[in-house]
């Protein structure tokens, strides 16, 4: 996001209790961000693998990081290559999605725009990097 504000992106996670023996978890991909007016309001989410559930997922060391289950949902998305998208690119891609949904008679469920980034190795050229911009839609 194009912002001068700093935002906490990640916090180390570890498991506590007998179940996991302080298991460490690798960085997850994709990382989902939900755009907001300011960086402080922006939500960053990490997708946790299916081998975990709410009881077995490693617990964050940072108490400000919350683990929540996200219910199943339907999204309309556009995928494109390049560096992490600017705010202008996100707006352009969201507008494209909304125009297509309107033509098809599909309703967007919320005003939130989700941006998915995939952690490609730093040596990956931009034309091979994958990004997605998405909106939730009525899944009926």
Instruction: Read off the pLDDT of residues 28-52 as tens digits, 9 standing for 90 and up.
Output: 666 777 766 555 667 777 777 778 8
Which tokens belong to 119? 């952690």
Q: pLDDT value at position 25? A: 63
Residues 6+ apart with CB under 8 A from 57: 13, 15, 25, 48, 67
Q: For the chain, which ranges sit under pLDDT 70? A: 1-30, 35-41, 119, 140
Q: pLDDT value at position 30? A: 67
Please state, rounded to an integer, the average pLDDT across all residues of the chain: 76
pTM of the full predicted structure? 0.65
Terminus-to-terminus CA distance in the chain, angstroms?
32
Cα 96–Cα 37–Cα 90 angle in degrees, nearest 5: 25
Q: pLDDT value at position 16? A: 41
């Amino acid at each position: 996001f194009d912002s001068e504000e700093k935002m906490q992106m990640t916090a180390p996670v570890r498991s506590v209790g007998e179940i996991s023996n302080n298991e460490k978890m690798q960085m997850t991909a994709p990382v989902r961000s939900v755009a907001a007016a300011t960086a402080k309001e922006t939500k960053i989410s990490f997708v946790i693998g299916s081998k975990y559930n709410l009881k077995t997922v490693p617990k964050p060391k940072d108490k400000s990081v919350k683990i929540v289950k996200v219910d199943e949902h339907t999204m309309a998305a556009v995928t494109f290559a390049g560096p992490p998208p600017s705010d202008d690119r996100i707006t352009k891609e969201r507008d494209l999605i909304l125009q297509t949904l309107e033509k098809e008679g599909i309703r967007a469920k919320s005003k939130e725009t989700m941006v998915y980034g995939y952690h490609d190795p730093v040596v990956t050229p931009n034309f091979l990097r994958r990004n997605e911009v998405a909106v939730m839609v009525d899944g009926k």
